[in-house]
C-alpha cells in the first residue's frame, strides 16, 4: 500500500503504508536509536509527525511498561523500516505509519529549512492529493493554543509518599518524571495544566513543579500564573517546557528553534564545574532570555540555555530530561536537588 508525505516546501515523498490513515502536523526528527516506545508515547510529540533517523524501529518489540503515557501521541510516525510489532501497534492506535522512505532526505530537509508543516495520506486508496489536502489544513505549533487540554489530566491524581509534597502541573508530563519523584519518596499531586494558584495552594505543596509538554510555552499562561504566585515563597522546578514557562513568568523570553533538540545524545556543559553530561531532549522552543534567573548549563552544540537557577527564590529548571528513560543517567541528581529545596521553605498561601 502506498503512502505520501506532502511537505511545506512543495515536495511529495512517497513511501509504504504500514498503518493507514490521513493526518497532518509539524515534521520533526529524533536521533534516538533506542527508546522508540518512549518517544511514541511522549506527550511532547503531540501535533507532530515524528521521523526516526535511525533506520530500523522495533527490533526489541513493544512493551507497555515502557510507555510514557496512555497511548501513541504523534499524529504520524515515519521510519526507514518499521517492524511488524510496531506497525501493528500504531495501526491499533489509529496512527498512520509510513516507512520505506529515505529518512535521510527528510532529516536533511528539516535541518536545512527547519521543522515544517506536512500532510500525510497512507493506505490502499491514498493519493498525493490527499496528502496535500492535509497539508493545507495544517497549522504551526504556536497556533495550537489549546494543546495543553489534549495532554493534561482532567483532575488531580495523587501518588502517595512520605517525603516532600510536589504539585506537578501536568502540561504533558512523562510518566518517568512522576516515577523519578516517587522513587525518592515524594508525594506527587499531578494537577491539570490550567490549575489556578488557589487550587495549587490548597494542596499545600513543598515544591511546585512544571512538567514537560508540547507546543509553545506562551500558550500555557495558567501555569505561568502559578509560578508567578509561588516564586519566592515555595520552591519552583521545571523540565523542558517547564523551564520555558518558568523563565517567561520570571521576566524571560522564549523563541522557536529551527528544528529543535530531539534525541538521546545532546551534550550539555555545566558552567560551574565545566563538566559535560550527555542528555535526552525533546523540544522545539528554547529560553532566549532567562529574565530573573541565571543560566547554569548550556548546550555544547549551539549554546542554548539548558539549566536555569534562582538561588534567592529557590528555582531550579532543566531544558533536557534528567529522568532519561531511556538514555544517559548523568543528570538524575536533579530530582534530589529539587526535593532538597523543600527543606527550607513553607508552602505559600494563594487565592483564586
Q: Which residues are catalytic?
A: 240, 321, 323
285 has binding-site annotation: yes
Distance CA 286, CA 19 (A): 33
Q: Which of 77, 84, 119, 125 is nearest to 98 (CA)?
A: 77
113 has binding-site annotation: no
Q: Which of 1, 274, 228 is nearest to 121 (CA)?
A: 1
Question: 15: helix, coil or strand?
Answer: strand
282 has binding-site annotation: yes
Distance CA 40, CA 154 (A): 22
Distance CA 128, CA 12 (A): 7
In the chain, which ranges are E strands? 2-7, 12-19, 21-30, 48-52, 56-57, 76-78, 81-82, 97-99, 116-123, 157-159, 165-170, 187-192, 207-210, 236-239, 253-270, 276-289, 294-299, 305-310, 315-318
Q: Which of 242, 195, 239, 255 is nearest to 334 (CA)?
A: 239
193 has binding-site annotation: no
90 has binding-site annotation: no
Strand partners, 285: 256
Distance CA 27, CA 284 (A): 11
27 has binding-site annotation: no
215 has binding-site annotation: yes
| Residue 50 exposure: Cα atoms within 13 Å on the Cβ side | 34
Annotation: binding site: 44, 213, 215, 241, 244, 282, 284-285
Annotated binding site for L-glutamine: 44, 213, 215, 241, 244, 282, 284-285
Amino acid at each position: 500500500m502506498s503512502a505520501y508525505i506532502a511537505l511545506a516546501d512543495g515536495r511529495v515523498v512517497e513511501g509504504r503504508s504500514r498503518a493507514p490513515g490521513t493526518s497532518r502536523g509539524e515534521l520533526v526528527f529524533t536521533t534516538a536509536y533506542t527508546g522508540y516506545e518512549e518517544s511514541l508515547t511522549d506527550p511532547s510529540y503531540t501535533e507532530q509527525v515524528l521521523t526516526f533517523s535511525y533506520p530500523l524501529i522495533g527490533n526489541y518489540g513493544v512493551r507497555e511498561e515502557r510507555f510514557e503515557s496512555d497511548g501513541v501521541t504523534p499524529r504520524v510516525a515515519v521510519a526507514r523500516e518499521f517492524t511488524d510489532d510496531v506497525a501493528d501497534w500504531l495501526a491499533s492506535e489509529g496512527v498512520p505509519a509510513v516507512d520505506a522512505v529515505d529518512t535521510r532526505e527528510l532529516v536533511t530537509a528539516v535541518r536545512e529549512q527547519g521543522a515544517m508543516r506536512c500532510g500525510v495520506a497512507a493506505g490502499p486508496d491514498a493519493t498525493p492529493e490527499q496528502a496535500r489536502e492535509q497539508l493545507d489544513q495544517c497549522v504551526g505549533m504556536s497556533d495550537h493554543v489549546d494543546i495543553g487540554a489534549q495532554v493534561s489530566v482532567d483532575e488531580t491524581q495523587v501518588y502517595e509518599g512520605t517525603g516532600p509534597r510536589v504539585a506537578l502541573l501536568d502540561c504533558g508530563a512523562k510518566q518517568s518524571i512522576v516515577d523519578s519523584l516517587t522513587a525518592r519518596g515524594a508525594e506527587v499531586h499531578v494537577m491539570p495544566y490550567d490549575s489556578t494558584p488557589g487550587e495549587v495552594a490548597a494542596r499545600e505543596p513543598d515544591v511546585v513543579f512544571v512538567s514537560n509538554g508540547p507546543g509553545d510555552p506562551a500558550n500555557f499562561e495558567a501555569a505561568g500564573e502559578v509560578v508567578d504566585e509561588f516564586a519566592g515563597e515555595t520552591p519552583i522546578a521545571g523540565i523542558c517546557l517547564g523551564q520555558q514557562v518558568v523563565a517567561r513568568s520570571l521576566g524571560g523570553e522564549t523563541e522557536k528553534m529551527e528544528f529543535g533538540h530531539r534525541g538521546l545524545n545532546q551534550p550539555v556543559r555545566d558552567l560551574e564545574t565545566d563538566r559535560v553530561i550527555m542528555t535526552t531532549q525533546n523540544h522545539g522552543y528554547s529560553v532566549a532570555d532567562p529574565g530573573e534567573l541565571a543560566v547554569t548549563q548550556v548546550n555544547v552544540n549551539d549554546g542554548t540555555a539548558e539549566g536555569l537557577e534562582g538561588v534567592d527564590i529557590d528555582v531550579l529548571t532543566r531544558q533536557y530530561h534528567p529522568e532519561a528513560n531511556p538514555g544517559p543517567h548523568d543528570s538524575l541528581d536533579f530530582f534530589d536537588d529539587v526535593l532538597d529545596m523543600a527543606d527550607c521553605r513553607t508552602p505559600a498561601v494563594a487565592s483564586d
